[in-house]
Amino acid sequence: MPKPKTPATVYGTRLRHARMAMGWTQAELAERIGMVDSVSGATRVSRYETGQHDPDPATAEALAKALKLPVAYFHATSDVLADIILIVSRLPVAKQKEALERLKDLAGKHSGE
């Protein structure tokens, strides 16, 4: 059996990990976002995961929604930033605002470093 291709981009890596965490195949994810033909849909998902292609904004939104993750998570430039996005996105809006104010305070205290 051929070795699976490894993700080539941050987006692709996070997409693949999120899909696998849900226990879905590429074809299952494709079907969940409305790609009618699961074979060609699986090929498209594979290309997103390996960095051969980037999904258009509507597809990126559909993928994120199906995987129950914010779109920004997939584009975060570091794992720390991705974790912050996940944590804050799961909070109620009032708590998100509170977290934002705390982050602003923290950033202000450390801006001279």
Per-residue pLDDT tens for 27-72?
999 999 999 776 799 999 999 999 999 999 999 999 999 999 999 9
Residues 70 and 85 placed together within one structural domain of the fold = no
Domains held by the chain: number: 2
Domain CATH code at residue 64: 1.10.260.40
Cβ atoms within 10 Å of 77's Cβ, excluding its own: 8
Residue 6 pLDDT exceeds 80: no
Q: Which residue has the higher pLDDT, 83 or 110?
A: 83
Residues 49 and 39 placed together within one structural domain of the fold = yes
pLDDT at 53: 93
Domain coverage including residue 71? 1-75
Q: Identify the burial level of 59 via C-beta atoms within 10 angstroms of its C-beta, where 0-12 means exposed, 13-18 middle and 19 or more buried.
A: middle
Residues 24 and 69 placed together within one structural domain of the fold = yes
- Cα 16 to Cα 14: distance, rounded to the nearest angstrom: 5
Residues 61 and 100 placed together within one structural domain of the fold = no
Q: Position of tokens 């291709």? A: 5
Residues 65 and 100 placed together within one structural domain of the fold = no
Residues 55 and 36 placed together within one structural domain of the fold = yes
Kind plus residue range of the DSSP H or E element containing 55: none
Residues 12 and 45 placed together within one structural domain of the fold = yes
Residues 12 and 55 placed together within one structural domain of the fold = yes
Residues 61 and 107 placed together within one structural domain of the fold = no
